[in-house]
Structure 1
Amino acid sequence: MAARSFMMRASKTTVQDRAAGAIMGAMVGDALSLGCHWYYDLDQLKREYGEWINDYTTAKPGHYHYGCKAGDVSQSGQLFQYLLETLNEKGEYSDEDYCQRVDGLLATLDGTREGGRYTQKDMRDVWRNRVVMKKPWEKSASLFGDTTDSFVRAVALAARYHSDFPTLIKKIVSNTRLQYQDQQIQIHSIAYGLTVACLILGVDYKRVTGHLMNYKGIISSTIGSELGRDSDQDVPEPDSLIWTAYAAQAVVNPDLQIKSARNAPQMYGLACAYYMVLPGAYYLAARFPDNFETAVLTAVNSGGQNLARASLTGGMVGAITGLSSFPERFIKGLTDGDKWVEVAKKIAQDGAKK
């Protein structure tokens, strides 16, 4: 029955609709969480925003992102949009074009957390290296950054290069290493991007791991080459590629049932590190694969680093259900929503030509 349901869903969407859905899903998830971002006390979150947040919100005075309006994106969302602009205008990903756009943002920052819709440590490191120390981009990445900006941007690259895994891997590595030196972040960004690519292609979420294992050789060799590992013994193990399978198993295991899905991310941690955010997103995508609204709003209402979690969840479930499944209010309430829909459709169209 589950497989039949998937086939019925897939037949009603197109690859382009799913690619555009992935892009807009990531952006909508970011914006939906902006006003209610970083509430680690879930009771406080409920007191200030009600039992269930179901639309864009405005940050309270004194809280993060105060001054932004409902429907705006975070700094991570801005970086995502710069990448979309590069793909839209160039038709391909270009480090040079993307970096020029980010340099414009860096020029407006002051190196503090509070600057620029809140600047996390990795971007403060990049700012210091680029603006203060005048380093070239290839030497400006953060040494200890462990956030999820590059995972989110992998959604856009997956929408463009979903039919070409080696090229997708190369583009994700190239973009990720501009912000993060940690190769684990690069590897997990690749795995997440490949997951989104599979979903865009119409692979059932529960079967993503198996599908990727069919390409294990070329994936491993490409990753090894991009990370400068020439020996077979130096190629990373594919553990990051099997995360979706464990998430899917956790959802259906009767001994692991969680009554309220909004509490599930607490098992993994509510903080900002990718190893806390990513598994929560994988779980929510596995639990609500055919309902974009429920999946992304559950991520929003789960608190903590809900912005990254909702963006990653939105990227995956948007890739499953397609842009055509989105509630109209999510586009109308998003700042410049109609513009970004057209950009997403253009990138999806370019990706379909490959």
Structure 2
Amino acid sequence: MPPTPSSVSRTSRIQGALLGAFIGDALALGPHWYYDLDALKRDYGDWVSDYAAPKPGRYHGGLPAGASSQAGFILALTTRSLVDCGGYDEADFCARMDRELFPLLDGTPMAGPGGYTSQSIREAWRKRRAGLPWGQVAGLADNTEAAERVLAIALRYADEPAQLARHVSSNVALTQRDPTVGAMTLAFAAVLGQLVNGVALDGDLSGRLMGMVKSGELPFHTVTSGELDVPQGAEAPLQAGQFASPDALLTVSSIARAAHDPAVAIEPASKVGLVYGLPCAVYHQFPAAYYLAARFQGDMEQGVLNAVNAGGQNQARAMLAGALCGALGGLEAIPARFIAGLEKGEEYLALAKAVAERVG
């Protein structure tokens, strides 16, 4: 059983969130991207419960059980930049991408560290190779690629929501320029920042986030007043850099209510992939991660394993759910076997500790 919320320190929550993301990524490495759920069971049995190597000819083929995908590689790159610079330094992040990642790519999907390169990273690689500067290489991919790295930025600035919003939005825009992707990714980062500060993942969280919109800490445009009540007075004009709607902030509490409502059942919880969708897009992935985290709270083992066994783009789902559950349960809620079996686990633990030390 995970520890009670009141017993979990912020330091432990930050470490748990970052380790949870790395663990979720690695747990899904073998059984990644099975849209045929019968084939997933044929290859890995009725329930994936630990790290497993990919089957020959599948995604990430040749990597050992417990290894990170390219998403984990980039998350580690982002985290090292945060630690070495003491905070988010965009020039340093971009230089590391140019120096440490892009030379290992060739523009094809099944290449590079981790055995697969996402669409948004391939697009950025091509444009950089063509001589375009950072700031002009983002594409329209609607995946969670940016969310998988900016979660480290959200942890670093958990106690500074305005800074979190500014740095997360800026980093997302380096590879993804769709405003809906940007809004949903920032909303996820804002939720994660609140959870590591001890705020509950429940039906009241969205109201808290909306209060940050009203105070100007989160850059979303809103017309309604209070709890989505009737507008009062003149509408403030939409400002540059604002997302046009705060709806991405409302998703998490709606799903939390559903997860706790006995009249709403997703059984087993791994069917969450069929309910919210198996593909890669943000509008499938974020709701499923919110549901699993709301349902299992700080029980990272159940949250992550249900994400993995749901199939489809289970790697992103498990990374996001792992970060949320880790933020709720803390480092002490992570099963020892998940840390012991994680390739580079000691390095990731040290990075998580260093990030936690820089918060506040």
Identify whether the pair has TM-score above 0.5, normalized to the shorter chain.
yes
Change (3 A) 1:248 1:223: closer
Picking from 103, 126, 129, the partner of 2:127 is: 129
The equivalent of 2:136 in structure 1 is 139
Q: Is the 8 A contact 1:165 1:219 kept in 2?
A: no
The equivalent of 2:314 in structure 1 is 306
Tell me how many residue pairs correspond in the alignment. 339
Matches within 5 A, 1:262-341: 262-341=270-349
**Which amino acid letter does the alignment assign opposite residue 192 of structure 1?**
F
Q: Is the 8 A contact 1:199 1:208 kept in 2?
A: no
Provide, for residues 246-304 of structure 1, a one-character-per-residue CA deviation record: whole Å limited to 9, x for no partner: 11121233332122110122111101111111111111111111311000000011000
Distance in 2 (CA, whole Å) between partners of 1:221 and 1:51 is 43
Deviation at 1:223, TM superposition (A): 5.0
The equivalent of 2:167 in structure 1 is 171
The equivalent of 1:211 in structure 2 is 208
Name which of structure 1's ranges 212-221 and 104-113 shifts more when overlaid on structure 2.
Answer: 212-221
Q: Is the 8 A contact 1:19 1:159 kept in 2?
A: yes
Distance in 2 (CA, whole Å) between partners of 1:264 and 1:255 is 16
Picking from 39, 50, 57, the partner of 1:55 is: 50
Q: Does 1:185 align with 2:190?
A: no
Q: Does 1:256 align with 2:284?
A: no
Give the aligned CA root-mean-square deviation in angstroms.
1.7
Distance in 1 (CA, whole Å) between partners of 2:61 and 2:76 is 21
The equivalent of 2:107 in structure 1 is 111
Distance in 1 (CA, whole Å) between partners of 2:332 and 2:145 is 26
The equivalent of 1:239 in structure 2 is 247
Name which of structure 1's ranges 313-322 and 90-99 shifts more when overlaid on structure 2.
Answer: 90-99
Q: Is the 8 A contact 1:30 1:74 kept in 2?
A: yes
Provide, for residues 8-38 of structure 1, a one-character-per-residue CA deviation record: whole Å limited to 9, x for no partner: 8222110010011111111110111011100
**Which amino acid letter does the alignment assign opposite residue 135 of structure 2?**
E
**Structure 1 unaligned runs (5+)?**
225-230
Change (3 A) 1:240 1:180: same
**Which amino acid letter does the alignment assign opposite residue 138 of structure 2?**
A
SS at match of 1:40: coil
Distance in 2 (CA, whole Å) between partners of 1:73 and 1:208 is 32
Q: Does 1:92 align with 2:97?
A: no
Deviation at 1:221, TM superposition (A): 6.1
SS at match of 1:140: coil
Distance in 2 (CA, whole Å) between partners of 1:78 and 1:217 is 36
Distance in 1 (CA, whole Å) between partners of 2:216 and 2:289 is 23
**Which amino acid letter does the alignment assign opposite residue 288 of structure 1?**
F
Matches within 5 A, 1:336-351: 336-351=344-359
**Structure 2 unaligned runs (5+)?**
222-235
The equivalent of 1:228 in structure 2 is none
Percent identity over the alignment? 39
Q: Is the 8 A contact 2:298 2:327 kept in 1?
A: no
Provide, for residues 158-182 of structure 1, a one-character-per-residue CA deviation record: whole Å limited to 9, x for no partner: 2110111000001101110111111
The structure in which a higher percent of residues are helix is: 1
Change (3 A) 1:333 1:221: closer
Q: Is the 8 A contact 2:213 2:219 kept in 1?
A: no
**Which amino acid letter does the alignment assign opposite residue 41 of structure 2?**
K
Q: Is the 8 A contact 2:276 2:284 kept in 1?
A: yes
- TM-score w.r.t. structure 2 length? 0.90
